[in-house]
Amino acid sequence: MGVAAAVVDQFRQVAREQDKPLVALNPDTVLLESGLDSLCFAIIVARLEDQLGIDPFTTSEDVYFPVTLGDFIKFYEDAAGSKAA
């Protein structure tokens, strides 16, 4: 599974578990308007760390937090890329 698919998959799964209504996801979806709360994001980040072996929030030199789903996926893709390199 690619990074983007893994991210979207976790968004859906955590929304279901936490009983949160998830909006239709697209790259421009603002994370905080997706229907998920901070706890959901914390869970998503931990699960992606286990699944992909990366946690760009902790390891990234980038000091900007992702705002949209597109940013979020790119954040992970960049981290996965630099890990593979």
Partner 1 sequence: MPPVQRLPDSGRPETLHDAIAGSDAVLCGRGAELRLSERGHAPDGLAGAGVLLRTRSQLAAALGLIALDGVARRIVIASPDLKPEHLPSVIDRAEIDAVLGEDETLAVDGTQFIRLDLQRTEVCHPLLREAHRKEEAVSAGEAAPVGGERKLKPEGLKKTEWVLFTSGTTGEPKMVAHTLEGLTGAIQPGAAADTVWGTFYDIRRYGGLQILLRALLGHASLILSDADEDVADFLARLGRHGVTHLTGTPSHWRRALMSPANAALAPRYVRLSGEIADQAILDSLKSRFPEAAIGHAYASTEAGVGFEVTDGLEGFPAEYVGRRASKTMGAVEMKVEDGRLHLRSSRTASGYVGGGPLLHNDGWVDTGDMVEKRGGRLYFMGRAGGIINVGGLKINPEEVEAVINRQPGVRASRVSGRRSPITGAIVVADVVLTDAAGGNATFRDSILAACREVLPPFKVPAMLRFVPSLALTAGGKLSRHA
Residues that bind partner 1 (CB under 8 A): 17-18, 30-33, 38-39, 41-43, 45-47, 50, 55, 57-58, 63-67
Minimum CB separation of residue 70 from partner 1 in Å reads 13
Minimum CB separation of residue 54 from partner 1 in Å reads 12
Q: Give the whole-angstrom CA distance, residue 54 versus residue 76.
A: 8
Residue with tokens 């996801």: 25
- Check the CA dihedral 16-17-23-26 and report its sign: negative
Minimum CB separation of residue 37 from partner 1 in Å reads 8
Pick 7 or 31: Cβ nearer partner 1: 31
User: To 5 degrees, how large is the angle CA 74–CA 76–CA 80?
Assistant: 115
